[in-house]
Structure 1
Amino acid sequence: MADTKTEEPTKVIEHMRNWVNSQPHLPKDIEDWLLLRFAHSCYYDLEKAKVAADLFFTLRAESSNLLKDRDPQSTQMQKILNIVNIGQLKLPGKKNIWIYQINDPGLDIYEYILDVKLFFTSTDAWLLENDDLEESDTVIIDVKDISLKFLTKLNVSIARKLSKYQEEAIPIRLKQVHIVNAPPFIDKIYGIMKPFLKKELTEMIYFHPPNSETLFKHVSRDELPADYGGTFPKMEYLNKSVVQLMMKHRERLNENLWVAIDKKSKNKDKVQIETASFRSLAID
Protein backbone atom coordinates (compact mmCIF):
# COMPACT_ATOMS: atom_id res chain seq x y z
CA MET A 1 0.00 0.00 0.00
CA ALA A 2 1.31 3.46 -0.84
CA ASP A 3 2.00 6.04 1.84
CA THR A 4 -1.27 7.09 3.46
CA LYS A 5 -1.91 10.71 4.35
CA THR A 6 -1.89 11.53 8.03
CA GLU A 7 -5.36 13.10 7.74
CA GLU A 8 -6.90 9.68 7.07
CA PRO A 9 -6.41 7.92 10.43
CA THR A 10 -9.59 5.87 10.07
CA LYS A 11 -8.35 4.29 6.85
CA VAL A 12 -4.92 3.69 8.35
CA ILE A 13 -6.39 1.98 11.41
CA GLU A 14 -8.73 -0.10 9.27
CA HIS A 15 -5.86 -1.27 7.07
CA MET A 16 -3.68 -2.13 10.09
CA ARG A 17 -6.61 -3.85 11.85
CA ASN A 18 -7.31 -6.04 8.81
CA TRP A 19 -3.66 -7.00 8.73
CA VAL A 20 -3.59 -7.82 12.46
CA ASN A 21 -6.68 -10.00 12.06
CA SER A 22 -4.90 -11.96 9.33
CA GLN A 23 -1.93 -12.73 11.60
CA PRO A 24 -2.70 -15.68 13.93
CA HIS A 25 0.15 -14.89 16.29
CA LEU A 26 -0.81 -11.27 16.99
CA PRO A 27 -3.16 -10.24 19.81
CA LYS A 28 -6.54 -9.07 18.57
CA ASP A 29 -7.20 -6.49 21.28
CA ILE A 30 -4.56 -4.00 20.10
CA GLU A 31 -5.83 -0.47 20.65
CA ASP A 32 -6.61 1.71 17.61
CA TRP A 33 -4.29 4.43 18.85
CA LEU A 34 -1.38 1.98 19.03
CA LEU A 35 -1.98 0.79 15.47
CA LEU A 36 -2.04 4.42 14.34
CA ARG A 37 1.13 5.13 16.26
CA PHE A 38 2.98 2.36 14.40
CA ALA A 39 1.91 3.91 11.10
CA HIS A 40 2.92 7.39 12.23
CA SER A 41 6.31 6.24 13.52
CA CYS A 42 7.02 4.76 10.07
CA TYR A 43 5.88 7.95 8.30
CA TYR A 44 2.77 6.15 7.05
CA ASP A 45 4.65 3.54 5.08
CA LEU A 46 2.22 0.83 6.13
CA GLU A 47 4.38 -2.09 5.04
CA LYS A 48 7.15 -0.82 7.32
CA ALA A 49 4.58 -0.24 10.04
CA LYS A 50 3.51 -3.88 9.84
CA VAL A 51 7.11 -5.05 10.18
CA ALA A 52 7.63 -2.75 13.18
CA ALA A 53 4.41 -3.87 14.86
CA ASP A 54 5.15 -7.56 14.25
CA LEU A 55 8.60 -7.13 15.75
CA PHE A 56 7.20 -5.16 18.69
CA PHE A 57 4.80 -7.93 19.76
CA THR A 58 7.20 -10.77 18.93
CA LEU A 59 10.18 -9.36 20.83
CA ARG A 60 7.95 -8.74 23.82
CA ALA A 61 6.81 -12.37 23.72
CA GLU A 62 10.44 -13.47 23.66
CA SER A 63 11.21 -11.15 26.59
CA SER A 64 8.30 -12.20 28.78
CA ASN A 65 10.51 -12.39 31.88
CA LEU A 66 11.14 -8.66 31.53
CA LEU A 67 7.43 -7.90 31.39
CA LYS A 68 6.41 -9.71 34.56
CA ASP A 69 6.39 -8.51 38.18
CA ARG A 70 6.55 -4.84 37.22
CA ASP A 71 4.77 -3.39 40.22
CA PRO A 72 6.59 -0.07 40.91
CA GLN A 73 6.16 -0.68 44.63
CA SER A 74 7.81 -4.10 44.59
CA THR A 75 11.17 -4.54 46.29
CA GLN A 76 12.95 -5.24 43.01
CA MET A 77 11.53 -2.26 41.18
CA GLN A 78 12.19 0.00 44.15
CA LYS A 79 15.81 -1.13 44.08
CA ILE A 80 16.39 0.18 40.56
CA LEU A 81 14.15 3.23 41.04
CA ASN A 82 16.34 4.30 43.96
CA ILE A 83 19.34 4.74 41.66
CA VAL A 84 17.78 5.76 38.35
CA ASN A 85 16.00 8.97 37.42
CA ILE A 86 13.88 9.15 34.27
CA GLY A 87 12.52 12.28 32.63
CA GLN A 88 9.82 12.28 29.95
CA LEU A 89 9.36 15.78 28.55
CA LYS A 90 6.70 16.87 26.04
CA LEU A 91 7.74 20.04 24.23
CA PRO A 92 6.13 22.46 21.78
CA GLY A 93 6.43 21.43 18.16
CA LYS A 94 5.37 17.88 18.94
CA LYS A 95 8.77 17.01 20.37
CA ASN A 96 9.60 14.54 23.12
CA ILE A 97 12.80 14.33 25.14
CA TRP A 98 13.55 11.17 27.09
CA ILE A 99 16.27 11.47 29.76
CA TYR A 100 17.91 8.64 31.70
CA GLN A 101 20.25 9.29 34.62
CA ILE A 102 21.95 6.65 36.76
CA ASN A 103 23.03 7.57 40.30
CA ASP A 104 25.18 4.72 41.58
CA PRO A 105 28.88 5.71 41.46
CA GLY A 106 30.22 2.27 42.40
CA LEU A 107 27.60 0.36 40.41
CA ASP A 108 27.20 -1.77 43.54
CA ILE A 109 23.40 -1.66 43.49
CA TYR A 110 22.90 -1.53 39.73
CA GLU A 111 21.46 -4.59 37.97
CA TYR A 112 21.21 -4.56 34.20
CA ILE A 113 18.14 -6.83 34.09
CA LEU A 114 16.24 -4.54 36.45
CA ASP A 115 17.33 -1.55 34.40
CA VAL A 116 15.86 -3.10 31.24
CA LYS A 117 12.68 -4.03 33.10
CA LEU A 118 12.38 -0.39 34.22
CA PHE A 119 12.81 0.73 30.61
CA PHE A 120 9.92 -1.47 29.48
CA THR A 121 7.77 -0.40 32.44
CA SER A 122 8.32 3.35 32.07
CA THR A 123 7.92 3.38 28.28
CA ASP A 124 4.81 1.19 28.45
CA ALA A 125 3.28 3.56 31.00
CA TRP A 126 4.11 6.47 28.72
CA LEU A 127 2.50 4.73 25.73
CA LEU A 128 -0.62 3.98 27.77
CA GLU A 129 -0.88 7.64 28.76
CA ASN A 130 0.00 9.37 25.48
CA ASP A 131 -1.73 9.04 22.16
CA ASP A 132 -0.23 12.23 20.74
CA LEU A 133 1.67 11.67 17.51
CA GLU A 134 4.98 13.45 18.00
CA GLU A 135 7.29 14.53 15.19
CA SER A 136 10.59 13.80 16.94
CA ASP A 137 12.02 11.96 19.92
CA THR A 138 15.39 12.80 21.44
CA VAL A 139 17.07 10.53 23.99
CA ILE A 140 19.62 11.80 26.51
CA ILE A 141 21.58 9.27 28.58
CA ASP A 142 23.66 10.57 31.48
CA VAL A 143 26.53 8.14 32.11
CA LYS A 144 28.27 10.12 34.84
CA ASP A 145 28.41 7.08 37.14
CA ILE A 146 29.30 4.49 34.50
CA SER A 147 32.62 2.66 34.90
CA LEU A 148 34.17 -0.32 33.17
CA LYS A 149 32.47 -2.38 35.87
CA PHE A 150 29.35 -1.93 33.76
CA LEU A 151 30.70 -4.60 31.41
CA THR A 152 30.50 -7.17 34.20
CA LYS A 153 26.82 -6.29 34.64
CA LEU A 154 25.88 -6.39 30.97
CA ASN A 155 23.90 -9.29 29.54
CA VAL A 156 24.71 -9.32 25.82
CA SER A 157 21.70 -11.43 24.83
CA ILE A 158 19.27 -8.99 26.42
CA ALA A 159 21.24 -5.97 25.22
CA ARG A 160 20.98 -7.12 21.61
CA LYS A 161 17.27 -7.79 21.90
CA LEU A 162 16.69 -4.45 23.62
CA SER A 163 18.65 -2.58 20.94
CA LYS A 164 16.52 -4.17 18.23
CA TYR A 165 13.34 -3.26 20.12
CA GLN A 166 14.49 0.35 20.57
CA GLU A 167 15.66 0.76 16.97
CA GLU A 168 13.01 -1.05 14.99
CA ALA A 169 9.95 -1.80 17.10
CA ILE A 170 8.95 0.85 19.62
CA PRO A 171 6.61 3.28 17.83
CA ILE A 172 8.43 6.61 18.15
CA ARG A 173 10.28 8.86 15.71
CA LEU A 174 13.80 8.70 17.09
CA LYS A 175 15.96 11.57 15.84
CA GLN A 176 18.94 11.92 18.19
CA VAL A 177 20.68 10.07 21.03
CA HIS A 178 23.02 12.06 23.28
CA ILE A 179 25.43 10.44 25.73
CA VAL A 180 26.35 13.12 28.29
CA ASN A 181 29.11 13.15 30.90
CA ALA A 182 30.85 10.52 28.78
CA PRO A 183 34.14 9.31 30.35
CA PRO A 184 37.25 8.66 28.19
CA PHE A 185 36.67 4.88 28.27
CA ILE A 186 33.12 5.14 26.90
CA ASP A 187 34.49 3.92 23.56
CA LYS A 188 35.16 0.50 25.15
CA ILE A 189 31.54 0.14 26.26
CA TYR A 190 30.24 1.57 22.99
CA GLY A 191 32.48 -0.87 21.13
CA ILE A 192 30.57 -3.77 22.72
CA MET A 193 27.20 -2.26 21.82
CA LYS A 194 27.94 -0.88 18.35
CA PRO A 195 27.73 -4.23 16.49
CA PHE A 196 24.09 -4.50 17.64
CA LEU A 197 23.19 -1.13 16.15
CA LYS A 198 22.14 -0.21 12.65
CA LYS A 199 24.15 2.42 10.82
CA GLU A 200 21.10 4.71 10.86
CA LEU A 201 21.18 4.72 14.67
CA THR A 202 24.96 5.09 15.06
CA GLU A 203 24.72 8.22 12.93
CA MET A 204 22.25 9.69 15.45
CA ILE A 205 24.53 9.16 18.48
CA TYR A 206 26.55 12.06 19.91
CA PHE A 207 29.00 11.89 22.82
CA HIS A 208 29.52 14.82 25.20
CA PRO A 209 32.34 14.76 27.81
CA PRO A 210 31.87 16.14 31.34
CA ASN A 211 31.62 19.93 31.62
CA SER A 212 31.03 20.19 27.89
CA GLU A 213 28.44 22.48 26.34
CA THR A 214 28.29 20.64 23.02
CA LEU A 215 24.86 19.22 23.90
CA PHE A 216 23.40 22.72 23.51
CA LYS A 217 24.28 22.69 19.81
CA HIS A 218 21.52 20.10 19.43
CA VAL A 219 19.14 20.72 22.34
CA SER A 220 18.18 24.12 23.70
CA ARG A 221 18.86 24.78 27.38
CA ASP A 222 15.19 25.71 27.72
CA GLU A 223 14.30 22.13 26.82
CA LEU A 224 16.36 20.57 29.61
CA PRO A 225 16.03 19.92 33.37
CA ALA A 226 17.81 22.16 35.86
CA ASP A 227 20.48 19.46 36.30
CA TYR A 228 21.70 20.38 32.80
CA GLY A 229 21.27 24.13 33.05
CA GLY A 230 17.69 24.12 31.78
CA THR A 231 14.38 25.52 32.96
CA PHE A 232 12.57 22.25 33.71
CA PRO A 233 12.57 20.81 37.26
CA LYS A 234 15.46 18.63 38.38
CA MET A 235 15.56 14.99 37.33
CA GLU A 236 14.56 13.74 40.77
CA TYR A 237 11.25 15.62 40.45
CA LEU A 238 10.69 14.56 36.84
CA ASN A 239 11.28 10.99 37.96
CA LYS A 240 8.48 11.29 40.53
CA SER A 241 6.09 12.06 37.68
CA VAL A 242 7.25 8.93 35.84
CA VAL A 243 6.74 6.81 38.96
CA GLN A 244 3.25 8.30 39.41
CA LEU A 245 2.48 7.41 35.80
CA MET A 246 3.62 3.82 36.38
CA MET A 247 1.46 3.65 39.48
CA LYS A 248 -1.53 4.99 37.56
CA HIS A 249 -1.19 2.16 35.03
CA ARG A 250 -0.02 -0.39 37.58
CA GLU A 251 -2.81 -2.88 36.84
CA ARG A 252 -2.21 -3.01 33.09
CA LEU A 253 1.56 -3.11 33.52
CA ASN A 254 1.14 -6.33 35.46
CA GLU A 255 -0.94 -7.90 32.69
CA ASN A 256 0.49 -9.81 29.74
CA LEU A 257 0.60 -6.51 27.89
CA TRP A 258 1.12 -6.30 24.11
CA VAL A 259 2.72 -9.67 23.40
CA ALA A 260 2.40 -12.07 20.50
CA ILE A 261 0.24 -15.11 21.19
CA ASP A 262 3.00 -17.41 20.06
CA LYS A 263 6.40 -17.11 18.44
CA LYS A 264 5.36 -17.98 14.91
CA SER A 265 6.33 -14.78 13.18
CA LYS A 266 7.90 -13.89 9.90
CA ASN A 267 10.49 -12.03 11.95
CA LYS A 268 11.38 -14.99 14.11
CA ASP A 269 14.61 -15.79 12.30
CA LYS A 270 15.67 -12.16 12.58
CA VAL A 271 15.35 -12.00 16.33
CA GLN A 272 16.94 -15.25 17.46
CA ILE A 273 19.50 -14.12 19.98
CA GLU A 274 22.33 -16.25 21.25
CA THR A 275 22.77 -16.44 24.99
CA ALA A 276 25.86 -14.62 26.11
CA SER A 277 26.94 -12.57 29.07
CA PHE A 278 29.90 -10.52 30.24
CA ARG A 279 29.22 -11.31 33.87
CA SER A 280 32.40 -13.38 34.06
CA LEU A 281 34.57 -10.63 32.56
CA ALA A 282 37.24 -9.44 35.01
CA ILE A 283 37.93 -5.73 35.13
CA ASP A 284 41.07 -4.52 36.84
Structure 2
Amino acid sequence: MELISIEEELKKNPQLKLDDIKLLRDWIDQEKTAPTSLSDVQLALFLHCCDYDLETTKNTIKTNYRWRAEQPDYFTRRNFTLDSGLAHSLDTVSFLLLPKRSTADELIIVARIKDNDPKSFLMLESVKLFFMFMDMVLAKHGSSNGVVIIYDCEPITFALARKCQISTLRALLHFLQEAVSFKVNAIHYMNVNAAFNFVFQLFKPFVASGLINKLHFHSPGSSTIFADLAPNSVPKHFNGEEETSFVQMHEKMKEGLKSFQPWFEKEEASLMTFMQSLELEKQQNGDLSETIGSFRQLDFD
Protein backbone atom coordinates (compact mmCIF):
# COMPACT_ATOMS: atom_id res chain seq x y z
CA MET A 1 0.00 0.00 0.00
CA GLU A 2 2.02 2.94 -1.31
CA LEU A 3 0.82 6.43 -0.40
CA ILE A 4 1.91 9.66 -2.01
CA SER A 5 4.12 11.77 0.25
CA ILE A 6 3.89 15.44 1.14
CA GLU A 7 7.35 15.86 -0.39
CA GLU A 8 5.99 14.68 -3.75
CA GLU A 9 3.05 17.08 -3.47
CA LEU A 10 5.36 20.00 -2.66
CA LYS A 11 7.57 19.14 -5.62
CA LYS A 12 4.77 19.08 -8.19
CA ASN A 13 2.78 22.04 -6.77
CA PRO A 14 4.93 25.17 -6.24
CA GLN A 15 1.90 27.00 -4.81
CA LEU A 16 1.66 24.53 -1.95
CA LYS A 17 3.20 25.91 1.24
CA LEU A 18 3.82 24.09 4.50
CA ASP A 19 2.82 27.29 6.31
CA ASP A 20 -0.68 27.00 4.83
CA ILE A 21 -0.92 23.39 5.97
CA LYS A 22 0.09 24.48 9.47
CA LEU A 23 -2.55 27.23 9.43
CA LEU A 24 -5.21 24.68 8.49
CA ARG A 25 -4.04 22.27 11.19
CA ASP A 26 -4.14 25.02 13.83
CA TRP A 27 -7.63 25.99 12.65
CA ILE A 28 -8.86 22.39 12.93
CA ASP A 29 -7.35 22.05 16.41
CA GLN A 30 -9.05 25.24 17.57
CA GLU A 31 -12.42 24.96 15.82
CA LYS A 32 -12.84 21.15 15.89
CA THR A 33 -14.15 21.27 12.32
CA ALA A 34 -12.59 17.99 11.14
CA PRO A 35 -10.64 15.03 12.53
CA THR A 36 -7.38 16.29 14.01
CA SER A 37 -5.54 13.31 12.50
CA LEU A 38 -5.82 14.53 8.90
CA SER A 39 -2.48 14.04 7.17
CA ASP A 40 -0.45 16.78 5.51
CA VAL A 41 -1.28 15.20 2.15
CA GLN A 42 -5.03 15.28 2.85
CA LEU A 43 -4.83 18.96 3.73
CA ALA A 44 -2.67 19.60 0.66
CA LEU A 45 -5.31 17.99 -1.57
CA PHE A 46 -8.01 20.28 -0.19
CA LEU A 47 -5.76 23.30 -0.78
CA HIS A 48 -5.00 22.22 -4.34
CA CYS A 49 -8.67 21.60 -5.11
CA CYS A 50 -9.58 25.06 -3.79
CA ASP A 51 -6.80 26.83 -5.72
CA TYR A 52 -4.92 27.50 -2.47
CA ASP A 53 -7.55 29.91 -1.17
CA LEU A 54 -7.55 29.35 2.59
CA GLU A 55 -11.14 30.38 3.31
CA THR A 56 -12.55 28.25 0.49
CA THR A 57 -10.39 25.37 1.69
CA LYS A 58 -11.69 25.71 5.24
CA ASN A 59 -15.30 25.71 4.07
CA THR A 60 -14.73 22.64 1.92
CA ILE A 61 -13.01 20.71 4.73
CA LYS A 62 -15.79 21.64 7.14
CA THR A 63 -18.48 20.59 4.67
CA ASN A 64 -16.70 17.33 3.86
CA TYR A 65 -16.28 16.07 7.39
CA ARG A 66 -19.56 17.35 8.75
CA TRP A 67 -21.25 15.54 5.88
CA ARG A 68 -19.30 12.35 6.58
CA ALA A 69 -20.38 12.57 10.21
CA GLU A 70 -24.03 13.10 9.27
CA GLN A 71 -24.07 10.27 6.70
CA PRO A 72 -22.39 7.33 8.47
CA ASP A 73 -24.03 4.79 6.13
CA TYR A 74 -21.49 5.83 3.50
CA PHE A 75 -18.40 6.25 5.67
CA THR A 76 -18.52 3.67 8.46
CA ARG A 77 -18.20 -0.13 8.31
CA ARG A 78 -15.99 0.25 5.26
CA ASN A 79 -14.96 -3.34 5.73
CA PHE A 80 -15.61 -6.13 3.25
CA THR A 81 -15.78 -8.72 6.03
CA LEU A 82 -18.26 -6.83 8.22
CA ASP A 83 -20.44 -5.44 5.42
CA SER A 84 -21.68 -8.25 3.19
CA GLY A 85 -23.48 -5.80 0.90
CA LEU A 86 -20.24 -3.92 0.33
CA ALA A 87 -18.40 -7.16 -0.43
CA HIS A 88 -21.18 -8.13 -2.84
CA SER A 89 -20.88 -4.79 -4.65
CA LEU A 90 -17.19 -5.47 -5.34
CA ASP A 91 -18.43 -7.92 -7.97
CA THR A 92 -21.41 -5.97 -9.31
CA VAL A 93 -20.01 -2.48 -9.99
CA SER A 94 -16.68 -1.27 -11.35
CA PHE A 95 -14.75 1.92 -10.66
CA LEU A 96 -11.63 1.92 -12.78
CA LEU A 97 -8.67 4.28 -12.87
CA LEU A 98 -7.44 4.34 -16.44
CA PRO A 99 -3.69 3.87 -16.99
CA LYS A 100 -3.20 7.15 -18.85
CA ARG A 101 -4.11 10.64 -17.68
CA SER A 102 -5.64 13.10 -20.10
CA THR A 103 -3.41 15.51 -22.00
CA ALA A 104 -4.44 18.09 -19.37
CA ASP A 105 -3.09 15.83 -16.56
CA GLU A 106 -6.55 14.81 -15.40
CA LEU A 107 -7.25 11.44 -13.78
CA ILE A 108 -9.77 9.45 -15.82
CA ILE A 109 -12.22 7.21 -13.97
CA VAL A 110 -14.59 4.74 -15.62
CA ALA A 111 -17.74 3.84 -13.68
CA ARG A 112 -20.00 1.05 -14.85
CA ILE A 113 -22.42 -1.56 -13.58
CA LYS A 114 -20.85 -4.99 -14.04
CA ASP A 115 -23.90 -7.09 -13.17
CA ASN A 116 -27.16 -5.43 -14.21
CA ASP A 117 -29.47 -8.00 -12.63
CA PRO A 118 -31.76 -5.75 -10.52
CA LYS A 119 -31.66 -8.32 -7.73
CA SER A 120 -27.88 -7.92 -7.51
CA PHE A 121 -27.65 -4.13 -7.56
CA LEU A 122 -27.30 -2.41 -4.18
CA MET A 123 -27.30 1.32 -4.75
CA LEU A 124 -26.22 2.61 -1.35
CA GLU A 125 -23.35 0.13 -1.15
CA SER A 126 -22.31 1.02 -4.70
CA VAL A 127 -22.06 4.71 -3.82
CA LYS A 128 -20.22 3.80 -0.61
CA LEU A 129 -17.76 1.80 -2.71
CA PHE A 130 -17.26 4.77 -5.04
CA PHE A 131 -16.35 7.02 -2.10
CA MET A 132 -13.88 4.37 -0.87
CA PHE A 133 -12.38 4.07 -4.34
CA MET A 134 -11.86 7.82 -4.66
CA ASP A 135 -10.31 8.03 -1.17
CA MET A 136 -7.89 5.30 -2.25
CA VAL A 137 -7.06 6.97 -5.58
CA LEU A 138 -6.32 10.31 -3.90
CA ALA A 139 -4.20 8.70 -1.18
CA LYS A 140 -2.12 6.84 -3.77
CA HIS A 141 -1.90 9.34 -6.62
CA GLY A 142 -2.35 12.70 -4.95
CA SER A 143 -3.31 15.89 -6.72
CA SER A 144 -4.05 16.30 -10.41
CA ASN A 145 -5.61 18.91 -12.66
CA GLY A 146 -8.97 17.36 -11.91
CA VAL A 147 -10.97 14.21 -12.49
CA VAL A 148 -12.87 13.14 -15.60
CA ILE A 149 -15.52 10.48 -15.03
CA ILE A 150 -16.71 8.24 -17.86
CA TYR A 151 -19.98 6.53 -16.98
CA ASP A 152 -21.08 3.60 -19.13
CA CYS A 153 -24.88 3.71 -19.49
CA GLU A 154 -25.07 0.56 -21.62
CA PRO A 155 -25.93 -1.84 -18.74
CA ILE A 156 -28.78 0.35 -17.45
CA THR A 157 -32.25 -1.09 -17.98
CA PHE A 158 -35.63 0.17 -16.83
CA ALA A 159 -35.77 -2.66 -14.29
CA LEU A 160 -32.47 -1.45 -12.88
CA ALA A 161 -33.51 2.20 -13.05
CA ARG A 162 -36.46 1.48 -10.77
CA LYS A 163 -33.99 0.57 -8.03
CA CYS A 164 -32.48 4.06 -8.01
CA GLN A 165 -33.02 5.85 -4.72
CA ILE A 166 -33.49 9.58 -5.06
CA SER A 167 -32.03 10.22 -1.62
CA THR A 168 -28.84 8.36 -2.56
CA LEU A 169 -28.53 10.19 -5.88
CA ARG A 170 -29.02 13.47 -4.04
CA ALA A 171 -26.39 12.59 -1.44
CA LEU A 172 -23.87 11.58 -4.11
CA LEU A 173 -24.36 14.80 -6.04
CA HIS A 174 -24.16 16.96 -2.93
CA PHE A 175 -20.84 15.42 -1.94
CA LEU A 176 -19.38 15.68 -5.46
CA GLN A 177 -20.44 19.30 -5.84
CA GLU A 178 -19.71 20.69 -2.39
CA ALA A 179 -17.28 18.60 -0.40
CA VAL A 180 -14.68 16.56 -2.27
CA SER A 181 -10.95 17.32 -2.37
CA PHE A 182 -10.72 16.98 -6.14
CA LYS A 183 -12.21 18.91 -9.03
CA VAL A 184 -14.80 17.17 -11.19
CA ASN A 185 -13.88 18.59 -14.59
CA ALA A 186 -16.26 16.53 -16.70
CA ILE A 187 -18.65 13.59 -16.61
CA HIS A 188 -19.11 11.77 -19.90
CA TYR A 189 -22.17 9.53 -20.15
CA MET A 190 -21.46 6.92 -22.81
CA ASN A 191 -23.97 4.72 -24.64
CA VAL A 192 -26.89 6.82 -23.46
CA ASN A 193 -30.22 4.99 -23.67
CA ALA A 194 -33.85 5.54 -22.68
CA ALA A 195 -33.39 3.93 -19.26
CA PHE A 196 -30.54 6.29 -18.42
CA ASN A 197 -32.61 9.27 -19.58
CA PHE A 198 -35.24 8.19 -17.05
CA VAL A 199 -32.62 8.11 -14.27
CA PHE A 200 -31.20 11.46 -15.36
CA GLN A 201 -34.58 13.12 -14.93
CA LEU A 202 -34.57 11.86 -11.33
CA PHE A 203 -31.27 13.46 -10.38
CA LYS A 204 -31.24 16.48 -12.71
CA PRO A 205 -32.99 18.72 -10.13
CA PHE A 206 -30.03 18.23 -7.78
CA VAL A 207 -27.36 19.17 -10.33
CA ALA A 208 -26.07 22.69 -9.74
CA SER A 209 -25.40 25.02 -12.66
CA GLY A 210 -21.65 24.68 -12.11
CA LEU A 211 -21.85 20.94 -12.79
CA ILE A 212 -24.59 20.82 -15.42
CA ASN A 213 -22.24 22.44 -17.94
CA LYS A 214 -19.69 19.69 -17.33
CA LEU A 215 -22.06 16.85 -18.29
CA HIS A 216 -21.63 15.37 -21.76
CA PHE A 217 -23.91 12.77 -23.37
CA HIS A 218 -22.78 10.36 -26.07
CA SER A 219 -24.93 8.02 -28.15
CA PRO A 220 -23.97 4.34 -28.64
CA GLY A 221 -21.14 3.96 -31.13
CA SER A 222 -20.35 7.67 -31.27
CA SER A 223 -16.87 9.18 -31.21
CA THR A 224 -17.89 12.56 -29.81
CA ILE A 225 -15.90 11.99 -26.60
CA PHE A 226 -12.70 12.53 -28.61
CA ALA A 227 -13.48 16.22 -28.75
CA ASP A 228 -12.39 16.26 -25.09
CA LEU A 229 -10.17 13.20 -24.59
CA ALA A 230 -7.40 11.77 -26.75
CA PRO A 231 -8.24 8.34 -28.25
CA ASN A 232 -5.17 6.74 -26.62
CA SER A 233 -6.58 7.51 -23.15
CA VAL A 234 -10.07 6.11 -23.86
CA PRO A 235 -10.82 2.35 -23.60
CA LYS A 236 -11.57 0.32 -26.72
CA HIS A 237 -15.03 -0.33 -25.26
CA PHE A 238 -15.79 3.32 -26.10
CA ASN A 239 -14.03 3.18 -29.52
CA GLY A 240 -10.75 4.43 -28.07
CA GLU A 241 -7.25 2.94 -28.21
CA GLU A 242 -6.56 2.02 -24.56
CA GLU A 243 -6.23 -1.77 -24.64
CA THR A 244 -6.27 -2.66 -20.93
CA SER A 245 -9.39 -4.77 -20.42
CA PHE A 246 -12.14 -3.89 -17.96
CA VAL A 247 -11.67 -7.35 -16.43
CA GLN A 248 -8.02 -6.62 -15.63
CA MET A 249 -8.79 -3.17 -14.24
CA HIS A 250 -11.68 -4.52 -12.16
CA GLU A 251 -9.44 -7.11 -10.52
CA LYS A 252 -6.90 -4.37 -9.82
CA MET A 253 -9.66 -2.30 -8.20
CA LYS A 254 -10.67 -5.21 -5.96
CA GLU A 255 -7.10 -5.96 -4.91
CA GLY A 256 -6.39 -2.31 -4.23
CA LEU A 257 -9.47 -1.74 -2.09
CA LYS A 258 -8.83 -4.89 -0.06
CA SER A 259 -5.19 -3.93 0.51
CA PHE A 260 -6.37 -0.52 1.75
CA GLN A 261 -8.39 -2.06 4.58
CA PRO A 262 -5.98 -0.86 7.32
CA TRP A 263 -6.14 2.68 5.88
CA PHE A 264 -9.94 2.63 5.87
CA GLU A 265 -10.00 1.35 9.45
CA LYS A 266 -7.69 4.15 10.59
CA GLU A 267 -9.82 6.75 8.81
CA GLU A 268 -12.98 5.37 10.36
CA ALA A 269 -11.50 5.48 13.85
CA SER A 270 -10.66 9.16 13.31
CA LEU A 271 -14.14 9.84 11.97
CA MET A 272 -15.77 8.11 14.94
CA THR A 273 -13.77 10.29 17.34
CA PHE A 274 -14.87 13.35 15.38
CA MET A 275 -18.51 12.20 15.44
CA GLN A 276 -18.33 11.81 19.21
CA SER A 277 -17.05 15.37 19.53
CA LEU A 278 -19.96 16.61 17.40
CA GLU A 279 -22.41 14.70 19.56
CA LEU A 280 -20.90 16.30 22.65
CA GLU A 281 -21.24 19.70 20.99
CA LYS A 282 -24.87 18.91 20.21
CA GLN A 283 -25.57 18.01 23.83
CA GLN A 284 -23.88 21.17 25.07
CA ASN A 285 -25.50 23.55 22.58
CA GLY A 286 -28.87 21.89 22.11
CA ASP A 287 -28.19 21.40 18.40
CA LEU A 288 -25.34 21.40 15.95
CA SER A 289 -24.36 24.32 13.79
CA GLU A 290 -26.35 25.70 10.90
CA THR A 291 -24.10 23.68 8.62
CA ILE A 292 -25.17 20.45 10.26
CA GLY A 293 -28.77 21.52 10.01
CA SER A 294 -28.48 21.86 6.26
CA PHE A 295 -27.36 18.24 5.98
CA ARG A 296 -30.52 16.99 7.65
CA GLN A 297 -32.24 17.79 4.37
CA LEU A 298 -30.24 14.90 2.91
CA ASP A 299 -31.76 12.25 5.17
CA PHE A 300 -33.07 9.23 3.31
CA ASP A 301 -36.70 9.36 2.24
User: When the two structures are superposed, what TM-score results if normalisation uses the length of structure 2?
Assistant: 0.82
Asked if 1:272 is matched to 2:296, the reply is: yes
Corresponding residue for residue 112 of structure 2: 101
Structure 1: 5+ residue stretches without partners: 278-284
**8 A contact 2:105–2:144 mirrored in 1:** yes
- 1:113-152 correspondence to structure 2 within 5 Å: 113-131=124-142, 133-152=143-162
The aligned residue for residue 54 of structure 1 is 62
* Offset from partner CA, 1:96-129 (integer Å, 9 cap, x none): 0011011234423111111112112211222232
TM-score by length of 1: 0.87
In 2, Cα distance between equivalents of 1:275 and 1:269: 11
Deviation per residue, 1:152-203 (Å, 9 max, x gap): 3222223212211111211112111001111034332211101111101011
1:246-261 equivalence runs, <5 A: 246-255=257-266, 256=268, 259=271, 260-261=274-275
Which residue does 2:172 correspond to in 1?
162
Shift of 1:276: 4.9
Picking from 34, 47, 53, the partner of 1:26 is: 34
The corresponding residue for 2:75 is 67
Q: Is the 8 A contact 2:106 2:146 kept in 1?
A: yes
3-state DSSP class of the match of 2:162? helix
Is 1:98–1:139's contact at 8 Å kept on the other side of the alignment?
Answer: yes
2:284 is matched with which residue? none
* 1:10 correspondence with 2:18: yes
Asked whether the 8 Å contact 1:128–1:249 carries over to 2, the reply is no
**RMSD over aligned Cα, in angstroms?**
2.2
Structure 2: give runs of 5+ residues left out of the alignment.
Answer: 1-12, 280-287
1:274, 1:177 → 2: CA distance?
A: 23
1:61 offset after TM fit, Å?
0.9
Question: What is the alpha-carbon distance in structure 2 between the residues aligned to residue 271 and residue 154 of structure 1?
Answer: 21
Q: Per-residue deviation at 1:57?
A: 0.7
- Cα pair 2:16 2:48 within 8 Å, conserved: no
Q: Secondary structure at the match of 1:273?
A: helix
Q: Which moved more, 1:95-104 or 1:142-151?
A: 142-151
Q: 1:182 aligns with which of 186, 192, 207?
A: 192
Q: Which residue of 1 aligns with 2:86?
A: 77
Residue 248 of structure 2 is matched in structure 1 by 237
- What code does the residue aligned with 2:201 have? G
- Using CA pairs below 8 Å that are at least 6 residues apart, which structure has the higher relative contact order? 1
State the match for 1:280 in structure 2. Answer: none
Q: Distance in 1 between matches of 2:129 and 2:155?
A: 18
TM-superposed CA distance for 1:242, in Å, is: 1.7
Higher mean displacement: 188-197 or 224-233: 224-233
Please tell me whether residue 43 in structure 1 is matched to residue 37 in structure 2: no
1:118-155 per-residue CA deviation (whole Å, 9 max, x = no partner) reads 11221122223233x21121011101111233443222
Distance 2:95 2:255 in 1: 12
Quick one: which amino acid aligns to residue 21 of structure 2?
I
Separation of aligned partners in 2, 1:46 and 1:66: 27
Which sits farther off after the overlay, 75-84 or 27-36?
Answer: 75-84
Residue 281 of structure 1: aligned partner: none
Q: Secondary structure at the match of 1:141?
A: strand
